[in-house]
Amino acid sequence: MSEQQIMDDSTSEAGNAEPTPAEHAPAARGPLGYGDRVQLTGPKGRLNTITLVPGGEFHSHRGMIRHEEIVGLPDASVLTNSNGEEYLALRPLLSDFVMSMPRGAAIVYPKDAAQILSLADIFPGARVVEAGVGSGALSLHLLRGIGSEGRLFSFERREEFADIARGNVAAFKGRAPENWTVTVGDLQETLPSTCEAASVDRVVLDMLAPWECVDVAAQALAPGGVLICYVATVTQLSRTAEEIRRSGLFTHPQSSETMVRGWHVEGLAVRPDHRMVAHTGFLITARRLAPGTQLPELKRRASKSEFTEEDLASWLPDIGEQGDAGAWTPQAVGERGKSDKVLRKKVRETQRFARERGAEADAEGGDAHSSR
């Protein structure tokens, strides 16, 4: 599924009893069965993502399909609804799943998750710290990257977001992964007690003020380990880069953003799509230096790019004598929050989602910790 179709039609179903844990966990291959997530593509290319449950039905204004008619079909099969219209049934890819799963916080898009896995060199068996679990989209990508031998330590300040992430991960995996823990609390307070010093291979920060966690991330990282931060605005990017430089604990930070433009290719009509997935966030990476190592200064020609502390203070609100760290708020960087009522609804939705997929999303999680 294209990332342009963010509002991939939610499940449209009727006649479903209250779901109970399915007898069969979702499968990665083979015939479609109960508990599987299925992506139905209609005659006009519109996508509808459903979870197959006993007695379930998919309804649209074009007709109805019973879930039992899909169960047993090979992946990538075509079937007809009650009005004779054809639908393509596909088992969603991971990128499709994260775009259609229930959300509390905004997700890391697949295009950025792919870059994070590449730039941070997430490898099978890696020990990875993730701060800012959100709705669990990046957690799913990281879990796939580290494999069954790796360990993912996720941290989240808000219990509601942690619950939503647990539900989504359990729904995709069919169970709560044994090599994944979710700790509720502030990273600066909880990371030292969760991971020993120099025991982590990678640290991924997706939060409002990652510069506040540079020192604690450095403490956890082994020499040569990678720190990668995902931020939404140029002011956050600048502040993070300067803090990494000031710490003296990392290599020179590298910054980038990723834009994806699809193409329409049909016969002789070959042109860029009218829409594209442009800016979603910036990535900034650096590697942990060995203890006691002093990074050589880069030799550059004198230029107008030289700057002072006063220059930084002119647009970074917490720099300088009059700096105010409290100026960094979600609203100040354009984040749109959700009410507690909406988040509680999303928690219930993800727990139901996990049950439909054959997994129990325990509110506390299998290996969850809480530090308030």
CB-based burial label for 153 (10 Å; 0-12, 13-18, 19+) = buried
Q: What is the pTM for the complete model shown? A: 0.81
Evaluate the CA torsion angle 242, 246, 250, 251 in order and state its sign: positive
Tell me the HSE value of 53 on the side-chain side, using a 13 A CA sphere. Answer: 26
Structure-token pair, residue 264: 């329409």
Q: What is the DSSP string of 204-251?
A: EE-SS-GGGGHHHHHHHEEEEEEEEEEESSHHHHHHHHHHHHHHSSBP
Task: Note the pLDDT of residue 12.
Answer: 42
**Strand locations in the chain (E):** 13-14, 37-41, 47-51, 57-60, 63-66, 77-80, 86-90, 127-131, 151-156, 180-184, 200-205, 221-231, 254-257, 263-266, 269-272, 282-287, 369-370
d(CA 317, CA 143): 36
Q: Which sequence spans correspond to the domains of the chain?
A: 13-93, 101-327
Place of tokens 């966030």: 281
Task: Note the pLDDT of residue 268.
Answer: 94
13-93 and 101-327, same CATH topology:
no
Q: Supply the mean pLDDT for the chain.
A: 85
The ranges of the chain with pLDDT < 70 are 1-25, 300-315, 318, 320-324, 327-328, 331-336, 358-372
Write the single-letter amino acid at 324.
D
Task: Note the pLDDT of residue 17.
Answer: 43
Nearest to 212 by CA among 234, 190, 243, 182: 243
DSSP 138: H
Query: Spelled out in words, what is the top-level CATH class assigned to the domain 101-327?
Result: alpha beta
Place of tokens 């991939």: 8
Strand partners, 370: 184
Task: Note the pLDDT of residue 339.
Answer: 77
Task: Note the pLDDT of residue 372.
Answer: 43
d(CA 244, CA 240): 6
d(CA 327, CA 334): 13
Write the single-letter amino acid at 250.
F
d(CA 257, CA 236): 13
Domain formed by 13-93, architecture: Roll (3.10)
